A = this chain, B = another copy of it.
Amino acid sequence: MIKTILFKNRPAGKPSTSNFELITEDDPKPAEGEVLLKSLYISVDPYLRGRMRDQKSYIEPFKLNEPLESNVVAEVVESNNSNFQKGEFVSGMLKWKELQTSKGSGLNKVHKELAPLSAFLGVLGLTGLTAHLGLEKIGHPKEGETLVVSGAAGAVGSIVGQIGKIKGCRVIGIAGTDEKVEHIKQEFGFDVGINYNSTKDMKQAIAEACPGGVDVYFDNVGGEILDAVLQNVNKDARIINCGAISLYNETEVPMGPRPEGILIKNTVLMQGFLVRDHVKDFGSSLQQLGSWIKEGKLKYDETVVEGFDKLPEAFIGLFEGKNTGKMVVKI
Protein backbone atom coordinates (compact mmCIF):
# COMPACT_ATOMS: atom_id res chain seq x y z
CA MET A 1 0.00 0.00 0.00
CA ILE A 2 1.19 3.52 -0.76
CA LYS A 3 0.19 6.92 0.53
CA THR A 4 -1.51 9.61 -1.61
CA ILE A 5 -2.73 13.09 -0.72
CA LEU A 6 -6.04 14.20 -2.22
CA PHE A 7 -7.40 17.72 -2.64
CA LYS A 8 -10.46 17.52 -0.42
CA ASN A 9 -12.04 20.96 -0.57
CA ARG A 10 -11.21 24.45 -1.76
CA PRO A 11 -9.82 26.74 0.93
CA ALA A 12 -11.59 29.99 1.75
CA GLY A 13 -8.70 32.23 2.72
CA LYS A 14 -5.62 30.57 4.13
CA PRO A 15 -5.35 26.85 3.39
CA SER A 16 -5.64 24.46 6.33
CA THR A 17 -4.94 20.77 6.81
CA SER A 18 -8.68 20.10 6.37
CA ASN A 19 -8.31 20.91 2.66
CA PHE A 20 -6.24 17.75 2.25
CA GLU A 21 -6.87 14.06 2.80
CA LEU A 22 -4.22 11.40 3.22
CA ILE A 23 -5.34 8.01 1.89
CA THR A 24 -3.66 4.74 1.12
CA GLU A 25 -4.13 2.79 -2.06
CA ASP A 26 -2.74 -0.24 -3.83
CA ASP A 27 0.74 -0.17 -5.23
CA PRO A 28 0.65 0.99 -8.85
CA LYS A 29 1.99 -1.32 -11.58
CA PRO A 30 3.64 0.13 -14.67
CA ALA A 31 2.04 -0.93 -17.97
CA GLU A 32 3.95 -1.45 -21.21
CA GLY A 33 5.78 1.79 -22.09
CA GLU A 34 5.50 3.11 -18.54
CA VAL A 35 7.94 3.64 -15.69
CA LEU A 36 7.34 3.27 -11.97
CA LEU A 37 8.56 6.32 -10.07
CA LYS A 38 9.38 6.61 -6.40
CA SER A 39 9.02 10.18 -5.09
CA LEU A 40 12.17 11.40 -3.32
CA TYR A 41 11.59 15.14 -3.00
CA ILE A 42 8.30 16.98 -3.54
CA SER A 43 8.17 20.74 -4.05
CA VAL A 44 5.61 22.97 -2.32
CA ASP A 45 5.14 26.39 -3.92
CA PRO A 46 2.95 29.45 -3.30
CA TYR A 47 1.51 29.33 -6.85
CA LEU A 48 -0.25 26.05 -6.01
CA ARG A 49 -2.69 28.16 -3.98
CA GLY A 50 -3.89 29.62 -7.29
CA ARG A 51 -4.67 26.16 -8.61
CA MET A 52 -6.87 25.58 -5.57
CA ARG A 53 -9.34 28.20 -6.79
CA ASP A 54 -12.38 27.19 -8.78
CA GLN A 55 -12.01 29.77 -11.50
CA LYS A 56 -12.79 28.77 -15.02
CA SER A 57 -10.22 31.22 -16.25
CA TYR A 58 -7.45 29.77 -14.11
CA ILE A 59 -5.22 27.32 -15.90
CA GLU A 60 -5.77 23.79 -14.62
CA PRO A 61 -7.45 24.24 -11.25
CA PHE A 62 -6.99 21.17 -9.05
CA LYS A 63 -9.93 18.78 -9.11
CA LEU A 64 -11.55 17.80 -5.84
CA ASN A 65 -10.89 14.29 -4.52
CA GLU A 66 -7.95 13.82 -6.86
CA PRO A 67 -4.27 13.90 -5.90
CA LEU A 68 -2.52 17.25 -5.84
CA GLU A 69 0.53 17.67 -8.02
CA SER A 70 3.70 19.72 -8.06
CA ASN A 71 7.29 19.36 -9.13
CA VAL A 72 8.85 16.13 -7.90
CA VAL A 73 12.27 14.51 -8.06
CA ALA A 74 11.81 10.76 -8.35
CA GLU A 75 13.80 7.61 -8.89
CA VAL A 76 12.94 5.19 -11.66
CA VAL A 77 12.39 1.96 -9.72
CA GLU A 78 10.98 -0.07 -12.61
CA SER A 79 10.98 0.67 -16.34
CA ASN A 80 8.99 -0.65 -19.27
CA ASN A 81 10.08 2.36 -21.31
CA SER A 82 13.31 2.23 -23.28
CA ASN A 83 13.96 5.93 -22.66
CA PHE A 84 14.42 5.38 -18.93
CA GLN A 85 16.53 2.92 -16.99
CA LYS A 86 16.00 1.63 -13.50
CA GLY A 87 18.07 3.68 -11.06
CA GLU A 88 17.89 6.93 -13.04
CA PHE A 89 16.54 10.10 -11.46
CA VAL A 90 13.95 12.35 -13.09
CA SER A 91 11.99 15.52 -12.32
CA GLY A 92 8.60 16.60 -13.53
CA MET A 93 5.09 17.67 -12.64
CA LEU A 94 3.93 14.60 -10.69
CA LYS A 95 1.24 13.62 -8.24
CA TRP A 96 1.55 13.70 -4.47
CA LYS A 97 2.01 9.92 -4.21
CA GLU A 98 4.78 7.82 -2.79
CA LEU A 99 4.83 5.70 -5.95
CA GLN A 100 3.27 6.40 -9.34
CA THR A 101 3.46 5.35 -12.96
CA SER A 102 4.25 7.61 -15.89
CA LYS A 103 4.46 7.31 -19.67
CA GLY A 104 7.58 9.45 -19.48
CA SER A 105 6.38 12.56 -21.29
CA GLY A 106 7.30 15.75 -19.47
CA LEU A 107 9.97 14.04 -17.38
CA ASN A 108 13.47 15.52 -17.34
CA LYS A 109 16.50 13.49 -16.39
CA VAL A 110 18.31 14.73 -13.33
CA HIS A 111 22.10 14.63 -13.36
CA LYS A 112 22.85 14.11 -9.69
CA GLU A 113 26.56 14.72 -10.15
CA LEU A 114 25.82 18.45 -10.72
CA ALA A 115 24.05 19.19 -7.44
CA PRO A 116 22.10 17.49 -4.65
CA LEU A 117 18.81 16.04 -5.87
CA SER A 118 16.65 18.59 -4.08
CA ALA A 119 18.35 21.45 -5.97
CA PHE A 120 16.51 20.31 -9.10
CA LEU A 121 13.29 21.50 -7.46
CA GLY A 122 14.90 24.84 -6.67
CA VAL A 123 17.88 26.69 -8.04
CA LEU A 124 18.26 24.22 -10.94
CA GLY A 125 14.53 23.85 -11.41
CA LEU A 126 11.54 26.12 -11.91
CA THR A 127 12.59 28.33 -9.00
CA GLY A 128 15.94 29.27 -10.51
CA LEU A 129 14.41 29.56 -13.97
CA THR A 130 11.71 31.89 -12.66
CA ALA A 131 14.23 34.13 -10.94
CA HIS A 132 16.63 34.28 -13.86
CA LEU A 133 14.22 34.52 -16.79
CA GLY A 134 11.78 36.86 -15.02
CA LEU A 135 14.55 39.27 -14.07
CA GLU A 136 16.20 39.18 -17.49
CA LYS A 137 13.17 39.19 -19.77
CA ILE A 138 11.16 41.91 -18.04
CA GLY A 139 13.59 43.62 -15.67
CA HIS A 140 16.59 44.13 -17.98
CA PRO A 141 18.77 45.10 -14.99
CA LYS A 142 21.72 47.29 -15.89
CA GLU A 143 24.94 47.91 -14.00
CA GLY A 144 24.52 50.64 -11.41
CA GLU A 145 20.73 50.37 -11.26
CA THR A 146 18.76 49.76 -8.09
CA LEU A 147 16.89 46.47 -7.81
CA VAL A 148 14.30 45.83 -5.10
CA VAL A 149 13.16 42.26 -4.40
CA SER A 150 10.27 41.23 -2.17
CA GLY A 151 10.06 37.77 -0.67
CA ALA A 152 13.81 38.23 -0.67
CA ALA A 153 14.59 35.31 1.65
CA GLY A 154 12.30 33.03 -0.33
CA ALA A 155 13.28 30.56 -2.99
CA VAL A 156 12.89 32.88 -5.99
CA GLY A 157 13.76 36.14 -4.25
CA SER A 158 17.11 35.01 -2.87
CA ILE A 159 18.22 33.96 -6.35
CA VAL A 160 16.92 37.18 -7.94
CA GLY A 161 18.95 39.26 -5.51
CA GLN A 162 22.16 37.34 -6.20
CA ILE A 163 21.70 37.63 -9.96
CA GLY A 164 21.13 41.36 -9.43
CA LYS A 165 24.50 41.56 -7.68
CA ILE A 166 26.14 39.56 -10.50
CA LYS A 167 24.69 42.15 -12.93
CA GLY A 168 26.19 45.02 -10.93
CA CYS A 169 23.00 46.35 -9.33
CA ARG A 170 22.51 47.78 -5.88
CA VAL A 171 20.10 45.23 -4.36
CA ILE A 172 17.52 45.83 -1.64
CA GLY A 173 15.64 42.87 -0.20
CA ILE A 174 12.33 42.91 1.66
CA ALA A 175 11.63 40.04 4.07
CA GLY A 176 9.51 39.33 7.12
CA THR A 177 11.91 38.84 10.05
CA ASP A 178 15.17 40.35 11.27
CA GLU A 179 16.80 36.93 10.91
CA LYS A 180 15.84 36.77 7.25
CA VAL A 181 17.06 40.31 6.67
CA GLU A 182 20.38 39.47 8.29
CA HIS A 183 20.59 36.25 6.31
CA ILE A 184 20.08 37.80 2.85
CA LYS A 185 22.77 40.36 3.61
CA GLN A 186 25.31 37.91 5.09
CA GLU A 187 24.67 34.92 2.90
CA PHE A 188 23.46 36.37 -0.40
CA GLY A 189 25.17 39.75 -0.54
CA PHE A 190 22.08 42.00 -0.57
CA ASP A 191 23.16 45.60 0.09
CA VAL A 192 20.19 46.46 2.30
CA GLY A 193 17.39 44.47 3.90
CA ILE A 194 14.03 45.74 5.14
CA ASN A 195 11.87 43.82 7.62
CA TYR A 196 8.36 44.75 6.51
CA ASN A 197 6.86 43.39 9.72
CA SER A 198 8.75 45.81 11.93
CA THR A 199 8.55 48.78 9.52
CA LYS A 200 5.72 51.23 9.95
CA ASP A 201 6.13 53.24 6.78
CA MET A 202 7.33 51.07 3.91
CA LYS A 203 7.24 53.97 1.44
CA GLN A 204 9.66 55.87 3.65
CA ALA A 205 11.84 52.82 4.33
CA ILE A 206 12.22 52.12 0.62
CA ALA A 207 12.97 55.79 -0.05
CA GLU A 208 15.75 55.66 2.55
CA ALA A 209 17.13 52.37 1.22
CA CYS A 210 17.01 53.66 -2.37
CA PRO A 211 18.16 57.29 -2.35
CA GLY A 212 18.43 57.12 -6.15
CA GLY A 213 14.97 55.59 -6.57
CA VAL A 214 13.95 52.12 -7.76
CA ASP A 215 14.78 51.00 -11.30
CA VAL A 216 13.69 47.37 -11.18
CA TYR A 217 11.26 45.71 -8.77
CA PHE A 218 10.91 41.94 -8.71
CA ASP A 219 7.57 41.48 -6.99
CA ASN A 220 6.81 38.18 -5.29
CA VAL A 221 4.16 39.52 -2.93
CA GLY A 222 1.91 42.20 -4.46
CA GLY A 223 -0.32 44.29 -2.23
CA GLU A 224 0.93 47.05 0.04
CA ILE A 225 4.60 46.41 -0.58
CA LEU A 226 4.01 46.90 -4.31
CA ASP A 227 2.18 50.14 -3.47
CA ALA A 228 5.15 51.34 -1.43
CA VAL A 229 7.63 50.52 -4.18
CA LEU A 230 5.47 52.30 -6.77
CA GLN A 231 5.79 55.45 -4.64
CA ASN A 232 9.55 55.26 -5.21
CA VAL A 233 9.96 54.25 -8.82
CA ASN A 234 12.24 56.05 -11.22
CA LYS A 235 11.45 57.07 -14.76
CA ASP A 236 11.20 53.97 -17.00
CA ALA A 237 11.24 51.54 -14.05
CA ARG A 238 10.39 47.90 -14.73
CA ILE A 239 8.22 45.81 -12.41
CA ILE A 240 8.14 42.04 -12.73
CA ASN A 241 4.82 40.78 -11.35
CA CYS A 242 5.96 37.29 -10.51
CA GLY A 243 3.86 36.52 -7.47
CA ALA A 244 1.28 38.02 -5.18
CA ILE A 245 1.51 35.82 -2.09
CA SER A 246 0.00 38.61 0.02
CA LEU A 247 -3.23 38.27 -1.99
CA TYR A 248 -3.50 34.54 -2.65
CA ASN A 249 -5.62 33.88 0.41
CA GLU A 250 -7.93 36.89 0.00
CA THR A 251 -11.57 35.93 -0.33
CA GLU A 252 -12.75 39.31 -1.64
CA VAL A 253 -11.27 41.30 -4.51
CA PRO A 254 -8.36 43.12 -2.85
CA MET A 255 -8.45 46.89 -3.25
CA GLY A 256 -5.55 49.29 -3.36
CA PRO A 257 -4.42 52.66 -4.66
CA ARG A 258 -4.75 52.79 -8.43
CA PRO A 259 -1.36 52.57 -10.11
CA GLU A 260 -2.18 54.13 -13.49
CA GLY A 261 -1.23 57.67 -12.48
CA ILE A 262 2.27 56.62 -11.42
CA LEU A 263 2.66 54.35 -14.43
CA ILE A 264 1.99 57.29 -16.74
CA LYS A 265 3.98 59.90 -14.86
CA ASN A 266 7.11 57.75 -14.72
CA THR A 267 6.44 55.67 -17.86
CA VAL A 268 6.71 52.54 -15.74
CA LEU A 269 6.35 49.04 -17.15
CA MET A 270 4.53 46.36 -15.11
CA GLN A 271 4.33 42.89 -16.57
CA GLY A 272 3.14 39.54 -15.30
CA PHE A 273 5.58 36.66 -15.62
CA LEU A 274 4.91 32.92 -15.82
CA VAL A 275 7.96 30.76 -16.26
CA ARG A 276 6.08 28.12 -18.26
CA ASP A 277 5.83 30.57 -21.18
CA HIS A 278 9.61 30.43 -21.62
CA VAL A 279 10.34 26.73 -22.05
CA LYS A 280 12.53 27.42 -25.07
CA ASP A 281 14.94 29.36 -22.84
CA PHE A 282 15.16 26.75 -20.07
CA GLY A 283 18.25 25.04 -21.47
CA SER A 284 20.42 28.13 -21.74
CA SER A 285 19.16 29.47 -18.43
CA LEU A 286 19.95 26.25 -16.54
CA GLN A 287 23.41 26.28 -18.08
CA GLN A 288 23.95 29.82 -16.84
CA LEU A 289 22.62 29.02 -13.36
CA GLY A 290 24.85 25.95 -13.20
CA SER A 291 27.93 28.00 -14.12
CA TRP A 292 27.19 30.59 -11.47
CA ILE A 293 26.80 27.85 -8.85
CA LYS A 294 30.11 26.30 -9.91
CA GLU A 295 31.84 29.69 -9.77
CA GLY A 296 30.49 30.17 -6.25
CA LYS A 297 28.50 33.25 -7.29
CA LEU A 298 25.10 31.73 -6.64
CA LYS A 299 24.15 30.14 -3.33
CA TYR A 300 20.83 28.74 -2.32
CA ASP A 301 18.89 27.83 0.78
CA GLU A 302 16.52 25.00 1.32
CA THR A 303 14.04 24.30 4.01
CA VAL A 304 13.62 20.54 4.03
CA VAL A 305 10.63 19.05 5.81
CA GLU A 306 10.82 15.29 6.28
CA GLY A 307 7.96 12.87 5.69
CA PHE A 308 5.30 12.44 3.03
CA ASP A 309 2.56 13.11 5.58
CA LYS A 310 3.96 16.59 6.19
CA LEU A 311 3.21 17.87 2.67
CA PRO A 312 0.07 19.84 3.62
CA GLU A 313 1.79 21.36 6.64
CA ALA A 314 4.84 22.35 4.60
CA PHE A 315 2.60 23.98 1.99
CA ILE A 316 0.62 25.90 4.62
CA GLY A 317 3.92 26.99 6.17
CA LEU A 318 4.71 28.97 3.02
CA PHE A 319 1.98 31.42 3.98
CA GLU A 320 3.38 31.74 7.49
CA GLY A 321 6.90 32.57 6.35
CA LYS A 322 8.23 29.27 7.73
CA ASN A 323 10.66 28.72 4.88
CA THR A 324 14.00 30.25 4.14
CA GLY A 325 14.66 29.59 0.50
CA LYS A 326 13.06 26.73 -1.33
CA MET A 327 10.66 24.59 0.70
CA VAL A 328 10.78 20.91 -0.22
CA VAL A 329 9.48 17.76 1.41
CA LYS A 330 11.82 14.79 1.61
CA ILE A 331 9.95 11.55 1.30
Write the residues of chain A forming the contact surface with B, with a CB cutoff of 8 angstroms: 50, 57-59, 219, 222-223, 226, 241-244, 247, 253-274, 277
Q: Which residues does chain B contribute within 8 Å of A262, judged by CB atoms?
A: 272
User: A53 → chain B, closest Cβ, in Å?
Assistant: 10
Chain B residues with Cβ below 8 Å from A270 are 259-260, 263, 269-271
Q: In the complex where A253-B257, A255-B255, A256-B255 touch, is A243 in contact with B271 (Cβ < 8 A)?
A: no
| B247 A261 Cβ-Cβ under 8 A | yes
A265 touching B272 by the CB < 8 A rule?
yes
Complex-state Cα separation, A258 to B269, whole angstroms:
16
| B260 in contact with A267 (CB, 8 Å) | no
The 6 closest A-B pairs by CB, nearest first: A263-B272, A264-B272, A222-B260, A269-B271, A267-B272, A241-B263
Q: A255-B258, A263-B271 are in contact. List 4 more A-B contacts (CB 8 A).
A: A50-B265, A222-B258, A269-B272, A271-B271
Which residues of chain B have C-beta atoms less than 8 A from A59's C-beta? 265
Nearest chain B CB to A225 CB, angstrom units: 11
Most buried by B among A58, A222, A258: A258
Closest residue to A264 on the B side, CB-wise? Answer: B272
A209 CB, min distance to chain B CBs, angstroms: 18
A152–B260 alpha-carbon span in the complex (Å) = 18
In angstroms, Cα B222 to Cα A15, docked, is: 34
Q: What is the CB-to-nearest-CB distance from A241 to chain B, in angstroms, rounded to a whole number? A: 5
Task: Check if B261 sits within 8 Å of A267, measured CB to CB.
Answer: no
In angstroms, Cα B247 to Cα A318, docked, is 37
